[in-house]
Structure 1
Amino acid sequence: MQTSEQWSSKIGFILSAAGSAIGVGAIWKLPYVTGISGGGAFFLLFILFSLFMGFPLLLAEFVIGRSTQKEAVSAYRSIAPHTKWHWIGKLGVFTCFLLLSFYSVIGGWIVIYFVKGLFGGIISDGADYSSVFNQTIGNPALVIAAQFVFLAFTVLVVAKGIQNGIEKVSKILMPALFVLFLVLIIRSLTLPNAVEGVKFFLAPDFSNITSESILFAMGQAFFSLSVGVSVMVTYSSYLSKKESLIQPAISIVSMNLLIALLAGLAIFPAVFSLGLEPAEGPGLLFVVLPAVFDQIIFGEAFLIGFLALFLFATLTSAFSMLEIIVASVVKGKEENRAKYTYLVGALILIVGVPSALSYSVLSDFLIFSKTIFDSADYLVSNILMPLGVFLISIFVTQKIKKSTLREELLQHSRLGGKAFQIWFFIMRYIIPIVIIIVFLDITGILDKFMSIF
């Protein structure tokens, strides 16, 4: 069934889609994954994967969604009826469900810090912010309550629909986030020894790159752009056929890379200046932010403002994850939206509780030496998303007519047939081959094969 809602404007779509991409992926996850994966070389790989794999894939999901005007599962079924290809959409729905189950935990951490900031409970002279963070996430009742608050707000917005919910909030919050980021960067770059942090972040040292860090960089590019899970299939299904697909894709990728750059320039100079460890892990942002704002006049007020915007940037990503799940259930029957949104939100909370307890009562419960939280993150970012990307690249080039692809991509744009041919070649050959090689390398099969020669 065709979707009954549409974005009110192209800018609304761009900001909402960018909000889906910009959030925990770029602001929270990229700095700490960069920190544990070698710094500048990893960031360079992330940029390359974003441009040469993420961007083409974003366009591919746009084509699937906009051409059918249907949510993820129905879109694949519409293009390839009486086949199993609609399972790509179901894989995306499952991945988003699992992703939001641990993503909401991070959202809960931000809620806690925001509330603490309002009451002046974060910044204090001589505070060990690493210990503060560990104590915070080690409180079982607190983290579950905060996770509930985060999910409740997400559910309320998505229940209101596209224009009145997701789009309206995104138009206000995304521009404000850029402004506060600039304030944070200016202060971070003026701290003593900040240049060492800039070097770590931007000067590539490929001696630190391993096959696993390459997989992480690829997964991070997909995670940051929300590709491989068919979120953008659902979002683009609400886009008018009168709009170009190329321009929004360029805007989204550019904004995502800019925020990633800003996040690194805000975090790493402060990390090195304050003598912190770049490989801190998931808590890096929550340790660095208070430490930096502690060095700024009216730092508490700036911290509250940044946490508010970071919270809403995180929420805009959560909106997209919940939307693909809800849309696949509602299937255009908007009268059922609210009921199913509440039900799905409750199920996600239940599944997410073990991740929330990964740093307290379930800290000793490990899966292949990883906590439940880290295991869920690894499964989503490094297995399910690349698998989704692989399947989408095959589907687009094998199941959609080349003439249809050309028409969808080139209409209302100034690009010609040569650009389309390059895109098609990347989708058909480069992306599947790269993903296969990376997986063969990570499993050790490639090394065994190469040893034969």
Structure 2
Amino acid sequence: MEKQTEQWSTKLGFILSSAGAAVGLGAIWKFPYMTGMNGGGAFFFIFIFFTVLIGLPLLIAEFVVGRGAQKEAVSAFQKLAPKSIFSFIGKWGVVGAFILMSFYSVVGGWVLIYSLLSIPGMVIKDGADYTGLFGMITENPLITVAALAVFVFINSFVISNGIKNGIEKYSKILMPLLFIFFIIIVIRALTFEGAMEGVRFFLQPDFSQLNGENILYALGQAFFSLAVGISVMVTYSSYLSKDVSLTKSAASVSIMNIMVSLLAGLAVFPIVFSFGLEPTEGPKLLFIVLPEAFSQMPFGEVFLCLFLLLFLFAILTSSFSMLEIITSAVHEKTKANRKTIAWIAGLIVFIAGIPAALSSNLLADFHIFGKTVFDASDFLVSNIMLPGGCLLIALFVGFKMDRKLVEQEFHAGSHWRNGMFQTWYQLLRWLAPITIVVVFLYSLGVI
């Protein structure tokens, strides 16, 4: 089997990088506001259910495809399923990653600005208007586009340095810092009077709050937060040696993702409820509600700075994976210089992201199916491309990919009994695709 020229230097580097790909906007920005808007604890419970029984099997499936083919996403499916309908799955993933990063980088730019302002204490000030501050940043086209450019520049710089000296090197630094900062903030959040009300909202499920739309969002959130469905993990696992257990690595990534989501909820909701704020603020929750809450606590400037920095770390490690799948696909196809491809890909992503950056200002009145460019891109990726990609990958690995190769990759580097393989294989073949189809049709009102 032909090997990738680049490899992860350590198993830990691969796990941290993969976890970094998963832990980002999905866990820290999107998860708290989606939970707040969709029933609190019930949404969290369904999210865990989907993550364990559907997301984890799909994550293992992407790992199996990537290391089994020893190719990046596009070439992997073309190699394993030549002249088949499944051969385009990798291209589906690259397009999804491209669209995702185009609007993802806009939020990355917002966080970058907030992080820079928080270091000298310019976010929290006496009499500050946090809604006005958010509006000043997002409604100014020059600021939003410039922040987008800087965020994409950072990504291009890291990706241009390759796997060991780029993604792995920075993930080993940023991911541990993320957990340290998170634990500090959670401890502080839980000390506030009234914090337990927020904990109950987050951890005590009320299933009467759920409907088909909530369940679809929970499914999409599980896929979004694990970075499955757009073949990012196919590309990452293609750089992995054969002596590493894919199942243990996937379990580690999934556990870290659930832990970060748990920490995000325990950091956000106790603060929100302690200060009498609303958890249903939506996407603005972390940019308006939390700064207002931090402003009311001792050393609020310090804690807000820590929170924004960990948010920035998470977004960067996740966005690295999106630009990597694009860069690696073009590099495999053209054999051109990787550094050049990374910078050109970054430039194209920047240009494509400009309409999303302008969605809150110059293009605020331009709508696609009733949504701004930013919201339409988010909906397309989160609720169509990710579930659609997951469905295709489940069907491919479950029914089309050579079973001997699947078993070989599943068992390599571990000592799982065959019963474990059978359980995973049946979950992938039947539960994952059926659930995806049923939830999607239910959300559309078809069933």
TM, length-normalised to structure 2: 0.97
Q: Look up the match of 2:249.
A: 248
Measured in 1, the distance between the counterparts of 2:197 and 2:304 equals 24
User: 136-145 vs 296-305, which deviates more?
Assistant: 296-305
Distance 1:377 1:417 in 2: 39
Quick check: 1:79–1:399 contact (8 Å CA) kept in 2?
A: no
Letter in 2 for 1:270: I
Identity %: 53
Find the aligned partners of 2:203 and 2:127 in 1 and give their Cα distance.
Answer: 30
CA deviation profile, 1:163-192 (whole Å, cap 9, x unmatched): 000000000110111111112112212222
**Is residue 182–residue 310 contact of structure 2 (8 Å, CA) maintained in 1?**
no
CA distance in 2, matches of 1:288, 1:66: 43
The answer as to whether partners of 1:170 and 1:316 remain within 8 angstroms in 2 is: yes
Once the two structures are superposed, residues 205-246 of structure 1 have per-residue CA deviations (whole angstroms, 9 ceiling, x without a partner) of 112111111110000000000001100000000000111111
Q: Does 1:67 align with 2:68?
A: yes
Alignment of 1:224-373 (within 5 A): 224-331=225-332, 336-373=337-374
Which amino acid in the other structure matches residue 242 of structure 1? D
State the distance in 2 between where 1:153 and 1:367 align: 30
What residue in structure 1 maps to residue 31 of structure 2?
30
User: Matches of residues 93-132 of structure 1 in structure 2 within 5 Å?
Assistant: 93-132=94-133
Q: Which residue of 2 aligns with 1:50?
A: 51
SS at match of 1:418: helix
**How far 1:297 sits from its partner (Å)?**
3.8
Alpha-carbon distance, 1:414 to partner: 2.6
Is residue 2:176 matched to residue 1:179? no
| Displacement of 1:2 | 4.5
Match of residue 81 from structure 2: 80
Q: Kindly indicate whether residue 396 of structure 2 is the aligned counterpart of residue 395 of structure 1.
A: yes
More deviation, 150-159/428-437? 428-437
Q: Distance in 2 between matches of 1:13 and 1:31?
A: 27
Structure 2: distance between partners of 1:336 and 1:83: 30
TM-superposed CA distance for 1:36, in Å, is: 1.1
Q: Which amino acid aligns with 1:122?
A: V
- Residues of 1 paired with 2:207 and 2:51: CA distance? 19
* Secondary structure of 1:124's aligned partner: coil
SS in 1 for 2:86: coil
Name the counterpart of 1:16.
Answer: 17
2:348 is paired with a residue whose SS is helix
Q: Distance in 2 between matches of 1:74 and 1:35?
A: 40
1:416 and 2:398 matched: no
Worse-superposed segment, 50-59 or 197-206: 197-206
Which string of whole-angstrom CA distances, capped at 9 and with x for unpartnered residues, describes residues 73-96 of structure 1? 111111112223221000000000
Give distance in 2, aligned partners of 1:264 and 1:302: 16
Map of 2:210 onto structure 1: 209
Structure 2 unaligned runs (5+)?
A: none
The Cα offsets for residues 85-124 of structure 1, whole Å up to 9 and x where unpaired, read as 2210000000000000000001000111012113321012
Question: Which residue is 1:222 aligned to?
Answer: 223
Superimposed CA distance per residue, residues 270-309 of structure 1 (whole angstroms, 9 cap, x where no aligned partner)? 1112222211111111224323433444332333233223
The two structures, once aligned, show a CA RMSD in angstroms of 1.5
Letter in 1 for 2:436: I
Whole-Å Cα distance in 2 between the matches of residues 192 and 138 of structure 1?
35
Q: CA offsets per residue over residues 142-177 of structure 1, 9 Å max, x none?
A: 011001000000001001100000000000110111
Counterpart code for 2:222: A
Letter of the aligned partner of 2:223 in structure 1? F
Q: Give 2:308's aligned amino acid.
A: L
Amino acid at match of 2:104: Y
Q: Which runs of 5+ in 1 are unaligned?
A: 447-453
Q: TM-score, normalised by structure 1?
A: 0.95
Q: How much has 1:330 moved relative to structure 2?
A: 0.3
Residues 161 and 339 in structure 2, CA contact (< 8 A), matched pair in contact too: yes
Deviation at 1:357, TM superposition (A): 1.3
Give per-residue Cα distances to partners, 1:50-72, cap 9 Å, x unaligned: 00001000000000001111000
Q: For residues 17-76 of structure 1, what are the alpha-carbon distances to aligned partners after superposition, in whole Å with 9 as ceiling and x for unaligned?
A: 000001111001100111111111111111000000010000000000011110001111
Q: Distance in 1 between matches of 2:303 and 2:190?
A: 16
Residue 356 (structure 1) shift: 0.9
Count, aligned residues: 446
Tell me if the contact between 1:187 and 1:296 (Cα under 8 Å) persists in the aligned partners.
Answer: no
Matched, 1:136 2:128: no
Match of 2:379 in 1: 378
Q: Is the 8 A contact 1:2 1:332 kept in 2?
A: no
Tell me the distance in 2 between the aligned counterparts of 1:126 and 1:208.
37
AA aligned to 1:21 is: A
